Structure 1
Amino acid sequence: MTMEEQSLDDLTLSQTMPLCQESFSEWWNTVSAPPLSYITPTVINVPEETWKTDGHMDMLLLNDHSLTEVFDEELFELPPPDVSTMDGVNPTSSTVPVTSDYPGEYGFQLQFQKTGTAKSVTSTYSEHLNKLYCQLAKTTPVEVLLGKEIPLGAIIRATAVYKKTEHVAEVVRRCPHHQNEDAADHRSHLIRVEGSQRAQYFEDPNTKRQSVTVPYELPQLGSEITTILLSFMCNSSCMGGMNRRPILTILTLETAEGLVLGRRCLEVRICACPGRDRKTEEENSTKMQSGTKQTKKRKSTPGSSSMKKSRPTSSAEEEDKDVFVLNVRGRERYEMLKKINDGLELLDKDRKPETRVKHEFVLPSSGKRLLHRGDKSDSD
């Protein structure tokens, strides 16, 4: 027999059980409890329709405003994330981006180096057309000028969009050929920032537009401008990419939270010979602007009448060889001049048979008919 079994056998029932109960009741009475008058019960207004005739409640409708005020439905919902505190978040952009210039309170401006229109230049800017011409994957310096000091943490964002309205909703991307040749993570981006390890590439989740940002650096000592280096990684004529559709590049000055402080927009053409294309397009633009004045001057000069007056002095052979072209504005004038020309053509046709008839009558020397080979005479 173990010691535990011996201890259990030696136990005897205590005769002081009532004393324990009395001590517990005495202890219970010593516990202080607030009176019922201090307890404010929560009154629930239950409509009478919920009670049955047998005294039991079928369903409790919690329509009381006191309960709804106590329980918060948004208690277990997480608060929305703060976009401004998240690192590397691209702020949302509109479907149709704004392409108008906005210098803002800081006087945001862009400048380009004057390289001229030589064939050897890799990039050149036309102030007359507000257009940048550059070669594929060649570094193009862009100078940023501000009127006053900007807050710390500002960035510069570059975004490419199509110029024409029918293409503005489409995203500007590189052609598949140049994408496959590139091994970079951001190989689908058209615009790149060179010379900076802090450049970041974004793609908007709503519009799918691509952009690149670079932190704004203060001008160096003795300078007022900050230079950023851009590269365009596809030609404007690439099939499957821009496909000869003109594009615009939007450069915006933004805060770290994505607030736009300034905006500049310019047209960009990526081609093999920027100097030649710039010179050609500037000449065509100048001709189109001065074309209306030249046509008015030509109309005022009576050149057609003088040409017609000089025709009788020339010989018939020279008139047949010379052909003149006259530009006429207006349908009525054209019909009138056409009738005059048709009448002169008829006169020329009438004159030619007369000369042939004269020669036919002049050729025979007498009234006798000329005999041809195989013909017989009247005497025969």
Structure 2
Amino acid sequence: MEEQGVENVSLPLSQESFPDLWANVVMPISTIQTAALNEPTGSWVASLTMALMDMPDLNCLFELQPSISTLDTGSPPTSTVPVTTDHPGEYDFKLRFQKSGTAKSVTSTYSELLNKLYCQLAKTSPVEVLVSKEPPKGAILRATAVYKKSEHVAEAVRRCPHHQNEDSVEHRSHLIRVEGSSQRAQYFEDLHTKRQSVTVPYEPPQLGSEFTTILLSFMCNSSCMGGMNRRPILTILTLETPEGLVLGRRCFEVRVCACPGRDRKTEEQANKKESGPKQTKKRKVTPNTSSLTTPAKKMKSSSSGEDEDKEVFHFEVYGRERYGRYEMFKKINEGLDLVESDAEKYRQKGKKKDGQTPEGPKKGKKLLVKEEKSDSD
């Protein structure tokens, strides 16, 4: 009764009932068993394979549904020395950072002068992504951290052991994380270079906006021992196709510190001093050097009791060659002052012999004059 009930049920999609299917399967199986008894072991395996291929109903029964294809985001570049130069590409790929100044309270700030991002540990740093036209469907954004100096560039950037042990996520060894879309973010590690990266699908700008914003977080300080250990790093942000083809590249330096505003201000001031013209320190010019830039003035002796001319003129000297000439002029000036000083001393001595001081005859005293004898004497 049960078999008759099953036969009477109409199955959707033109599927056959189990008795009909079994009747179609029994004959090939019996054929396979006969072939296995009559043929050697090596040949009946081939007969089994051919028999299974000739059973269309069995193939339909065990046919698997096609699996959902995941985007092959590829792996980080296998090159030991990654490319760190900017390449806007066909889509004019650009990055832009929010202006936040150098106040002590900011958690993230960007220096256009140094092309450097200053941020605090595990704090969100918004990065605006701009393109001239929409990238291919399924495009991704990849963020990779590399060391800036050539002696460290071959080494992979990782978090320090202390911060790794405090974290419980699966990708706790990664320095860069993408916030906001953590469910769509994927973390990769190259098998050859051990370099790590994180990817997130590219999203077109929303209505009324010209850019897409991604949120990056850096999970270790630049000064952490066992991690970056005060070694400067670069972040490479690339726009890629689902197959891993790079469409655009942008690089910027990153410093993870406790006070981003203060460090940015300090490094910008130091960079301006280094890039500006080298100036020699102004030496304290004595009154003796005034004759270098002014008409010759008769210097008054300090013993005259009158105030000296306190007006001083400075002039700047650039370059070592000119500095040597400056020393020569300085010696000439000192020699002229010495000659003038000696002349003044001789002049004073001459006045003393005549019985006069530099200030003239002193009051209350008469000059001693040899008495003249009369004719009678």
Relative to the length of structure 2, the TM-score reads: 0.58
Q: Does 1:261 align with 2:236?
A: no
The 1-side partners of 2:280 and 2:257 are apart by 34
Offset at 1:340?
12
Structure 2: gaps of 5 or more residues = 1-68, 284-288, 304-315, 335-377
Query: Secondary structure in 2 aligned to 1:212?
Result: strand
Q: CA RMSD in A?
A: 4.1
Residue 204 of structure 2 corresponds to which residue in structure 1?
218
CA distance in 1, matches of 2:223, 2:82: 23
Q: Distance in 1 between matches of 2:281 and 2:330?
A: 23
Q: Does the CA contact (< 8 Å) of 2:80 and 2:193 recur in 1? A: yes
For 2:274, which of 288, 304, 321 is the aligned residue? Answer: 288
Kept in 2: contact 1:135–1:272 (CA 8 A): yes
Are 2:78 and 1:93 aligned?
yes
SS in 2 for 1:284: helix
> Secondary structure of the equivalent of 2:146?
strand
Identity of matched residues, %: 75
**Aligned-partner Cα distance in 2 for 1:334–1:226:** 56
Name 1:139's counterpart in structure 2: 124
Distance 1:180 1:314 in 2: 79
Letter in 1 for 2:275: Q
- Equivalence for 1:158: 143
Contact 2:73 2:242 in 1 (8 A): no
CA distance in 1, matches of 2:291, 2:96: 51
Counterparts of 1:1-380 in structure 2, within 5 Å, are: 87=72, 89-90=74-75, 92-195=77-180, 196-292=182-278, 294-295=279-280
Match of 2:29 in 1: none
- Match of 1:125, SS? strand
Contact 2:109–2:261 at 8 Å: present in 1 too?
yes
Which structure 1 residue ranges, 4+ long, deviate > 6 Å from structure 2?
A: 302-306, 312-316, 327-342
Change (3 A) 1:157 1:338: same
Q: TM-score, normalised by structure 1?
A: 0.58
Q: Compare CA radii of gyration and give the structure with the larger one.
A: 1
Matched residue of 2:277: which SS?
A: helix
Please give the alpha-carbon distance, in whole angstroms, between the structure 2 residues aligned to 1:304 and 1:206.
73
Contact 2:118 2:256 in 1 (8 A): yes
Q: Distance in 2 between matches of 1:314 and 1:227?
A: 76
Structure 2 Cα separation of the partners of residues 205 and 303 of structure 1: 73
Residue of structure 1 equivalent to 2:32: none
Tell me the distance in 2 between the aligned counterparts of 1:188 and 1:132. 21
Q: Which residue type is aligned with residue 87 of structure 2?
A: Y
Structure 1 unpaired stretches of 5+: 1-83, 317-326, 345-380
Tell me the CA shift for residue 291 of structure 1: 3.2
* C-alpha contact (below 8 Å) 2:238/2:246 kept by paired residues: yes
User: In 2, are the aligned partners of 1:157 and 1:252 still within 8 Å (CA)?
Assistant: yes
The residue type paired with residue 246 of structure 1 is P
**1:176 to partner: Cα distance:** 1.1
Instruction: Find the residue that maps to 1:166 and give its secondary structure.
Output: coil
Q: Is the 8 A contact 2:119 2:260 kept in 1?
A: yes
CA distance in 1, matches of 2:323, 2:277: 21
Aligned partners of 1:304 and 1:210: how far apart in 2?
Answer: 69
> Could you tell me whether the CA contact under 8 Å between 1:92 and 1:206 is conserved in 2?
no
The structure-2 alpha-carbon separation of the partners of 1:337 and 1:131, relative to structure 1 and needing over 3 Å to count, comes to same
2:280–2:317 CA contact under 8 A, matched in 1: no
Alpha-carbon spacing, 1:108–1:337, altered in 2? closer, same or farther (3 Å): closer
Shift of 1:286: 1.1
Q: CA deviation at 1:93?
A: 2.6
Would the alpha carbon gap of residues 303 and 149 (structure 1) be closer, same or farther in structure 2, given more than 3 Å must change?
A: farther
| C-alpha displacement of 1:285 | 1.1
Q: 1:329 to 1:191 in 2, by over 3 A?
A: same
2:107 is matched by which residue type in structure 1? T
Go from structure 1 to structure 2 and tell me whether the alpha carbon gap of 1:125 and 1:335 turns closer, same or farther (over 3 Å shift).
closer
AA partner of residue 127 (structure 2): V
Residue matched to 2:15: none
Distance in 2 separating the partners of 1:260 and 1:279? 35
Per-residue deviation, 1:86: 7.2
CA–CA separation in structure 2 for the residues paired with 1:168 and 1:86:
29
Matched positions, count: 266
Q: Does the residue aligned with 1:280 lie in a helix, a strand or coil? A: helix
| 2: CA distance, partners of 1:95 / 1:121 | 36
